[in-house]
Amino acid sequence: MVKNKMSIDEQVAYLMQGADYGDEQTKQAMAGELKERLLEAEKEKRPLKVYCGYDPTAPDLHLGHTVTMRKLSQFQELGHEVTFLIGDFTTLVGDPSDKDKLRPRLSPEKVSENANTYADQAFKILDRDKTIIKHNAEWLSKLTFEDVIHISSNFTVQQFLTRDNFAKRYNNNDPVYLHEFFYAWMQGYDAYMLDADVQVGGTDQLFNIVTAARKLMSALGKKPNIGITMSILPGTDGEIRMSKSLGNDIPIAGDPKDMYGKMMSIPDKAMGIFCRLVTRWTPVEIVNFEADYSSGKIHPKDAKMKLAREIVTIYHGQEEAKKAEAEFVRVFQEQGQPEEMDEYKLKPGQSLLDALEAAKLVESRSQARRMIQQGAVRLDGRKLDDPHAEFPGTGVLQVGKRHFIRII
């Protein structure tokens, strides 16, 4: 664990670990301001006020969502005040930052349902007793139309049209709705109301945090907060942003064995960014880890196992991580089968396609067909290649590398 015995420079390095602004000059400027604010807080014997906002657009979180939570946790370790802000009001607008089309609006009921799930999962990382939970509807819902006019007058249409996603839609004659412009200053108003020293977010929030929030806080008479925008975590493919819809995600509430297996499937080149964004390791530990596998001191497979063990331990505990690792070694390195597996009772006349779907080994029939075509479906080691043939009988059914079920 990180202690407050860190020097100010060490704290800055730790807190800026994984931060990305698109250019080095902005990064150095933010690091400089962070150092000044830390020195100021130390002199005044007060914690920094740090927050990140989460729009509960879906109920389930994956590792990509936790990058900013991990950063908040680092601030907590150093004794600072952390607010987990639930964007129950901003969600009604929908964040356009990483979208090239209008984000669907959710009902207040769905937002509330998702918000409860977010908070519960966040406490797998954050200290429940030291985390302040707030909802931005508390202040945004009370703004008058006069307030909206006053706040909006601090920004120009040109500022928004320089953003890639808006510019692309505008140039393609795709609609850009007026209410989408409000999102950035709504987020800035959150920072103002929380009197934040630091705001954490992803690189897709760069405009909202480093431009809109700082500008608005200054305009409303407060010291602008420091933005820490984090790199985006790639998925298990090591290339594209982690996303459930793309099937390259690692759910944090999923089975520990599946989590371990998915971590082992990431390409070697992605280990560095996973270390920096989703582990509890310090900058020195990360440098040593990368040096060890780059130099050949440790085999990349063993390095990846260490990384997978760390991730599973965070969300499921040390014992479950050990079990997941032992299972992985037995199944994938020794070509065995899991010691424990679910069972599915075959129904008379079921086809292979029916059984795969009913046993929940696939998310859809189209995925089942793809797996069969790729030769990834086996019964007791024998490849099954006809999706419409009647299921052959009992045995251990394997789909892909990680999914096993006993057919009875």
- Determine what percent of the chain is predicted with pLDDT higher than 90: 47
Identify the structural domains of the chain with CATH numbers, from first to last.
Answer: 8-230 (3.40.50.620), 256-333 (1.10.240.10), 343-407 (3.10.290.10)
Give the pLDDT score at 282: 87
Residue 62 forms beta bridges with which residues? 251
Confidence tier at 306 by pLDDT (50, 70, 90)? very high
Give the pLDDT score at 1: 41
- CB contact at 8 A, 134 and 194: yes
pLDDT in tens, 282-294: 889 999 999 998 8
Average pLDDT over residues 52-63: 81
Q: What is the DSSP string of 341-377?
A: --EEPPPTT-BHHHHHHHTTSSSSHHHHHHHHHTT-E
Average pLDDT over residues 378-383: 82
| Helices 271-278 and 300-316, axial angle in degrees (round to 10) | 30
Q: Coil, strand or helix: which one is 124?
A: coil
Average pLDDT over residues 54-74: 86
Confidence tier at 101 by pLDDT (50, 70, 90)? very low
Nearest residue to 55 via CA among 4, 27, 95, 21: 95
Nearest residue to 72 via CA among 51, 45, 91: 51
Average pLDDT over residues 27-50: 96
Specify the range with the lowest mean pLDDT, choosing from 51-60, 181-190, 309-318: 51-60
* Residue 312: pLDDT over 90: yes
* Residue 62: pLDDT over 60: yes
Specify the range with the lowest mean pLDDT, choosing from 19-28, 116-125, 131-140, 359-368: 116-125
Give the pLDDT score at 92: 76
Specify the range with the lowest mean pLDDT, choosing from 108-112, 251-255, 359-363: 108-112
CB atoms within 10 A of CB 334: 9
> Which token pair is 167?
């510019």
Specify the range with the lowest mean pLDDT, choosing from 14-23, 95-104, 383-392: 95-104
Confidence tier at 106 by pLDDT (50, 70, 90)? low
Give the pLDDT score at 120: 77
- CB contact at 8 A, 63 and 252: yes
Average pLDDT over residues 258-268: 91
Is the pTM higher than 0.95? The answer reads no
pLDDT in tens, 196-223: 999 999 998 898 898 899 999 999 999 9
Specify the range with the lowest mean pLDDT, choosing from 34-38, 158-162, 271-275, 314-318: 158-162
- CB contact at 8 A, 320 and 259: no
* Residue 4: pLDDT over 80: no
Q: What is the DSSP string of 221-289?
A: TSPPPEEEEEPPPB-TTSSSBP-TTTT---BTTS-HHHHHHHHHTS-GGGHHHHHHHHS---HHHHHHH
Buried b (16+ CB within 10 A) or exposed e, 177-189: eeebbbbbbbbbb
> Which token pair is 127?
């200290």
Angle at 83 between CA 1 and CA 244, to 5 degrees: 80
Q: Coil, strand or helix: which one is 199?
A: strand
- Determine what percent of the chain is predicted with pLDDT higher than 70: 93
Instruction: State which of 113-122, 210-219, 339-348 shows the largest mean pLDDT.
Output: 210-219
Specify the range with the lowest mean pLDDT, choosing from 59-63, 90-94, 268-272, 306-310: 90-94
Q: Residue 191 carries which side chain, given as an amino acid letter?
A: A
CB atoms within 10 A of CB 363: 10
Nearest residue to 6 via CA among 93, 65, 78, 66: 78
CA distances 185 to 117, 122, 214, Å, are 26, 25, 10
More confident residue, 202 or 3: 202
Specify the range with the lowest mean pLDDT, choosing from 166-180, 190-204, 285-299, 364-378: 166-180
Give the pLDDT score at 104: 59
For residues 291 and 287, give the distance between their C-alpha atoms in angstroms, rounded to a whole number. Answer: 6
* Residue 95: pLDDT over 60: no
Give the pLDDT score at 100: 43
346 Cβ contact partners less than 8 Å away, ≥ 6 residues apart: 355, 391, 393, 394, 407, 408
Confidence tier at 174 by pLDDT (50, 70, 90)? confident
Confidence tier at 180 by pLDDT (50, 70, 90)? confident
Give the pLDDT score at 324: 92
Strand pairing category for 81-86 and 49-54: parallel
